[in-house]
Amino acid sequence: MSQPPTSPRHTALDASHRALGATMTDFAGWDMPLRYGSERDEHTAVRTRAGLFDLSHMGEITVTGPRAGEALDHALVGHLSALAVGRARYTMICAPDGGILDDLIVYRLAEQEFMIVANASNAQVVLDAVTERAAGFAGAAVRDDRDAYALLAVQGPESPGILKSVTDADLDGLKYYAGLPGTVAGVPALIARTGYTGEDGFELFVAPADAERLWQALTEAGAGAGLVPCGLSCRDTLRLEAGMPLYGHELTTALTPFDAGLGRVVKFDKAGDFVGRAALEAAAEKAAATPPRKLVGLIAEGRRVPRAGYAVTDASGAVVGEVTSGAPSPTLGVPLAMAYVDAAHAAPGTEGVAVDIRGTREPHRVVALPFYKRER
């Protein structure tokens, strides 16, 4: 007998989204806003002004204790014990065979306290794996804090000015991939200069009970700067333009960080063993000797949009790769895609590359990632 489907979870901002007329969608077991109006307008607002996102579906996991850093060095591929208090790091958790279980951001909140932020779809997998891997480190405790936080993000060139108007935290001194505790519109928050849009911006971790108050305060503070609420749809096109990988598309258990061109996140020089080390050392050697398929950018020469799963072909029509993500680019005005292609066809400017779109070979230009990079 089949199990009845479980209802999607709702964030603390669900009522605000519905009051704004958001189109909602089930994402990783959460009822989330897909868009509020035009996803193109929301995308453009983030690129030129500012956007406000609810990201409360992300999974927070806290690791504490005198051996917390050591436990994370063993559990993840990065060197987290070397992370300074107040800083954040992009890293991954891999299976023993080197396959990517998830990509993560880890914040060091205090000398003996770290917070892992996992993708919503993998939060339970990450929690289970970190708990199991930390079990051998007496003095390291793993805590599921997914219900302890709501997460709001303000992204875009106007975001520093908007946030400054409602906080006295030192935003000018807050570096990229750093965080500090502060008060925003009277709400206690962890203020992090991180994001997934390719723009300057901030992510605000607050208690769920404070989320609606903060959402309204940021909405009012940003009204004069053109801030708009933004859904998951434009977040996807923003990260695609910025060449940022998405788990389940560019990152999977079938790929190692070296396959994804992200071998730099694997730190072999840290002390002690870590899960997946042997497999990842072999993957690094293979990538150096005979590069596997490479992740590249593709820009369409026509108007048809390449989508995930579409075959990439060479001039003869032979399949040489596969699209992992694709969408029209509101910023560049052309369809874009990321794809894994054979190394022989991965150099920018490679001729004869096409994407098979429903039986028709549509010419595409190979380019280096990212497609878009903000002026700093």
Residues 197-213 have pLDDT tens digits of 999 999 999 999 999 99
* CB proximity list for 132: less than 8 A, separation 6 or greater: none
At 7 the pLDDT is 84
CA distances from 266 to 207, 229, 276, 302 (A): 33, 36, 10, 38
Which helix (H) or strand (E) is 214 found in, with range?
A: helix 211-222
At 4 the pLDDT is 47
* CB proximity list for 129: less than 8 A, separation 6 or greater: 75, 93, 101, 275
Instruction: With H, G, I as helix, E, B as strand and everything else as coil, classify residue 177.
Output: coil
| Number of CB atoms found within 10 A of residue 192's CB | 25
Q: Are strands 50-54 and 227-229 parallel, antiparallel or unpaired?
A: parallel
Residues 248-266 pLDDT 10s: 999 999 999 999 999 999 9
At 291 the pLDDT is 78
At 292 the pLDDT is 79
At 144 the pLDDT is 98
pTM for the structure as a whole: 0.96
At 16 the pLDDT is 98
DSSP-based helix, strand, coil % in the chain, nearest 5? 25, 35, 40
At 5 the pLDDT is 54
Strand partners, 300: 364
At 1 the pLDDT is 39
**Could you tell me if 140 and 63 are in contact, meaning their C-beta atoms sit under 8 angstroms apart?**
yes
Residues in the chain predicted with pLDDT less than 50, given as ranges, are 1-2, 4
At 80 the pLDDT is 98
